[in-house]
Amino acid sequence: MHPIFLQIGPLTISYYGFMAACGFLAALALLNFNRKLADLSSDDASNLIFIALIGGIIGARTFYVIQFFDQFRNDLADIIRIDKGGLVFYGGFFLAFVSILIYCRKKNFDTIRVLDVLVPSLAIGHAFGRIGCFLHGCCFGKPTELVCGVIYPQGSAPFYRYGATPLHPVQIYESLCNIILAIIAMILLRKSKRGVTMSFYLISYGLLRFLNEFLRGDHHIRNNNFTIAQLIGFCILPAGIICLITFLRKKDNTKND
């Protein structure tokens, strides 16, 4: 855990924010590399990443505030302090998804193919974001006896809950898995039918998040022993399977939103 990246006088830049910025740049670079596969211009690629970023941040923060409003009850100004952490991926995912759909409809793009080319960018951006979570000390794991267990410093949220106990570095697990997803998605983009890459991501990330949540130690809200993220992942998984079957069986692979 190393939350502060740079401090110059009153200006403080956290590693959480720094890694988020790195994730944005990596996502943009990867989308520019893949954009021609969806007939996107460089400007369209930049617009899509920017729209996804804004929608993602608003959705992720809103979802977090709704879940943990007690943290902000006495200081509502902290609601906008995303530099302190507190983003929920699925909230950001859904609002970014809606924002992208609206933009694609407006520009008359092949929405499914645009979603395909966005998958590697989403995965690599998320990988950087999870590293930021690790350095910030949020989204931490449960106690473990594995050699990879990490001990957080005094004063941190993980230490407050578990003390000097080694915890699963679940943020790093998820980051590595997202990197693997990005690599596989890059291959599928060039080898598979339209819609398969998007479907693969829905299946893979839904399953990944469902399993990874069992090792998370920061949750307060559970429903029938499952976290909210697991319940969402459980719904996304069959949706991805249905999409995959549909696109694999589709003979006409032309534009059809």
Residue 206 inside a domain? The answer is no
Say which amino acid occupies 11. L
CA distance 228 to 222: 7
- What's residue 176's pLDDT? 97
- What's residue 100's pLDDT? 94
- What's residue 156's pLDDT? 87
- What's residue 162's pLDDT? 94
Tokens representing 96 are 């970014």
Residue 22 inside a domain? The answer is yes
pLDDT at 15 over 90: no
- Please measure the distance between the N-terminal and C-terminal CA atoms of the chain and give it in whole angstroms: 44
Residue 229 inside a domain? The answer is no
Say which amino acid occupies 208. L
DSSP letters along 188-226, please? HHHHS-TTHHHHHHHHHHHHHHHHHGGGB-----EETTE
Residue 158 inside a domain? The answer is yes
Single out the residue of 161, 96, 87 nearest to residue 128, CA to CA.
Answer: 87
CA distance 124 to 147: 26
Residue 136 inside a domain? The answer is yes
pLDDT digits (tens, 9 = 90+) for 76-130: 776 776 656 667 777 888 889 999 999 999 999 999 999 999 999 999 999 999 9
pLDDT digits (tens, 9 = 90+) for 176-211: 999 999 999 999 999 999 999 999 999 999 999 899
Q: Residue range 154-158: average pLDDT? A: 88
Say which amino acid occupies 200. F
CA distance 157 to 162: 9
- What's residue 189's pLDDT? 95
Domain span including residue 139: 4-189
* pLDDT above 90 coverage of the chain, percent: 58
More confident residue, 60 or 142: 142
Instruction: Count the Cβ atoms, other than its own, within 10 Å of residue 148.
Output: 11
Residue 201 inside a domain? The answer is no
Residue 215 inside a domain? The answer is no
Structure-token match 């991926």, residue found: 89
Say which amino acid occupies 141. G
Q: Is the distance from CB of 49 to CB of 31 less than 8 angstroms? A: yes
Confidence (pTM)? 0.86
- Cα torsion 192, 197, 200, 202 to 10°: value is -160
- What's residue 63's pLDDT? 78
Task: Please return the burial class of 218, using the count of CB atoms within 10 Å of its CB with bins 0-12, 13-18 and 19+.
Answer: middle
**Mean of per-residue pLDDT scores for the chain:** 87
Going 31 to 32 to 34 to 35, the CA torsion angle's sign is: positive
Residue 256 inside a domain? The answer is no
Considering its fold, how many domains does the chain have in total? 1
Lowest mean pLDDT among 16-20, 59-63, 92-96, 151-155: 59-63
